[in-house]
Amino acid sequence: MSDFNELFKTADWVQEKHVPVIEVPEKIKKDEPMKITVTVGKEIAHPNTTEHHIEWISLFFQPEGEKFPHTIGRFNLSAHGASAEGPNTSTIYTDSEIVCKLKTSKPGTIMATSCCNIHGLWSSSKQLKVE
């Protein structure tokens, strides 16, 4: 590996269950809160079992014209059916979807990363327009 970015995989989320899918309005009003939803396994469900699951989703925003992105949040997904009785014996399973709100006065790029315990790191991005 020659670059950290080489660790992150991308793909068409319709055909790949590991890609974080970012859902936001096409345009938002300046400084008005907007809802951001990020889902892993939107079109093809991710199993989210004790043996194979999404560990976390991280969300960032890179405002246009700024040097560094802002971390919006890191969301740990910890319930994958494990219990003291063994793998997949609990009735509690995490669904790999997070929702948060953000407000900004600048357009920019929303970036999401996720980690599958078996298939590694995945990323995607989406442009945000501000009117």
Q: How far is CA 83 from CA 41, 49, 123, in A?
A: 24, 12, 30
**In the annotation, is 35 catalytic?**
no
Question: Annotated catalytic residue: which of 42, 46, 53, 80?
Answer: 46
Question: Annotated catalytic residue: which of 66, 100, 119, 131?
Answer: 119
**In the annotation, is 17 catalytic?**
yes
**In the annotation, is 70 catalytic?**
no
Question: Annotated catalytic residue: which of 27, 29, 52, 103?
Answer: 52
What is the full DSSP assignment across 7-75?
Answer: GEE---TTT-TTSEEEE--SEE-TT--EEEEEEESSSS-----SSS-EEEEEEEEEETT-SSPEEEEEE
Question: Annotated catalytic residue: which of 53, 97, 115, 116?
Answer: 116
**In the annotation, is 116 catalytic?**
yes
**In the annotation, is 80 catalytic?**
no
Query: Would you name the residues annotated as active-site residues?
Result: 16-18, 46, 52, 116, 119
